Amino acid sequence: MNIIVCVKQVPDPEAPPASFKIDSATNKVIPPPGVPPVISPFDEQAVEAALRVKDAKGGKITVISLGVNLLRDVVKKPLSMGADELILLEDPAYVDGDSWTTAYALAMAIKKIGQFDLIFCGRQAADTDAGQVGSAIAEILGIPSVTVARKIEVNESKVKVEKVTADGFDVIETSMPALITVSNELGEPRYATIKGIMAAKRKEPIIWKPADISADPAKLGAAGKRMAMLKLFQPVKEGKCEMVTGENEEDAAANLAKKLVEAKLLS
């Protein structure tokens, strides 16, 4: 099995909401001091999905990440979990685009890799929350896609995927090669092993510039994007919580009950 996983470096989405700040002049997020970026959590789950397939069927996992200022400690995490190779599309030409330009660059890199049975992506990145790149890669490569997976099982030339739905899940079968986006219902990603961390330290990522993947510069990054972001802003919060107290916690709870009934919130 040749497996490809696409991962994105994002600001830590679990950082406290109060630390989140925007520079309104540039429409960009100001990274909170002392909070390092992470691999988008669903992408880490995509790595886990790939590792489970590799555990069952054997094969090679190639991880691709697109961006600039990619911290090696961050983007090497999939290697320390057990992935085999890391390719970075690291160049200013790749960034400041949209889902489409990102998917185009990743698809061109995948074409260059050539051999693939399964491609895994996270269901959505924790910064843009768009959830489009996976489907777009599949569309560009002309392969089937199944999104929001919780379980993946490979049998011969087919792959069986449990897809999360609003009230349960669908079991979907498709041919390979296929692209699958992964959700947290898959389960916790494994921890890196000491052996994995040592191996990841020694392994240098391969860097591909636009020319290396024969990308059309007009279709990359800011030059190729179809969406324009006019404004990035933080919604204003009213923040007028009435703290209900009492002699002790039970008493506070009883006072809360009275307030809720008095305010006619419950009847």
Ligand X SMILES: Cc1cc2nc3c(=O)[nH]c(=O)nc-3n(C[C@H](O)[C@H](O)[C@H](O)COP(=O)(O)OP(=O)(O)OC[C@H]3O[C@@H](n4cnc5c(N)ncnc54)[C@H](O)[C@@H]3O)c2cc1C
Q: Could you list the residues that contact ligand X (CB under 6 A)?
A: 13-14, 41, 126
Report what 194 binds from ligand X, another protein, none; CB cut-off 5-8 Å by kind. Answer: none
- Applying CB under 8 A, does 199 fall inside the site for another protein? no
Contact partners, residue 84, CB within 8 Å, separation at least 6? 60, 61, 62
Alpha-carbon distance of 41 to 189, in angstroms, equals 9
- In the complex, least distance from residue 86 CB atom to another protein, rounded to whole angstroms: 26
Distance between CA atoms of 86 and 66, rounded to whole angstroms?
Answer: 11
Region from 50-58, 86-94, 146-154, 214-222 binding another protein, contact rule CB under 8 A: 146-154
Report 79-118 residues binding another protein (CB under 8 A). Answer: 98-100, 103
In the bound state with ligand X, the residue whose beta carbon lies nearer, of 13 and 144, is: 13
Stretch that binds another protein, among 52-60, 79-87, 166-174, 198-206 (CB under 8 A): 166-174
Of the two residues 32 and 144, which places its CB atom closer to ligand X in the complex? 32
33 near another protein, rule: CB under 8 A: no
Residues 137, 143, 149, CA angle at the centre, nearest 5°? 75
As given in the structure block, the two tokens for residue 265 are 């919130």
Q: Which of another protein, ligand X, none does residue 138 bind (CB under 5 to 8 Å by kind)?
A: another protein
Of 62 and 183, the one with the shorter C-beta distance to ligand X is 183
Picking from 61, 68, 7, 16, the residue whose alpha carbon sits closest to that of residue 38 is: 7
CB 3 within 8 A of CB 51: no
Confirm if 95 and 221 have CB atoms less than 8 A apart.
Answer: yes
The verdict on 3 binding another protein (CB under 8 A) reads: no
Binding residues for another protein, rule CB under 8 A, total: 89
E strands, 68-201, in order: 85-90, 118-122, 145-155, 158-165, 168-175, 178-182
C-alpha span between 58 and 261 (Å, rounded): 61
If contact means CB under 5 to 8 A according to the sort of partner, which of another protein, ligand X, none does residue 26 touch? none
Residues 125-144 contacting another protein, CB under 8 A: 126-132, 134-136, 138-140, 144
Decide whether 32 or 41 has the Cβ nearer to ligand X. Answer: 41
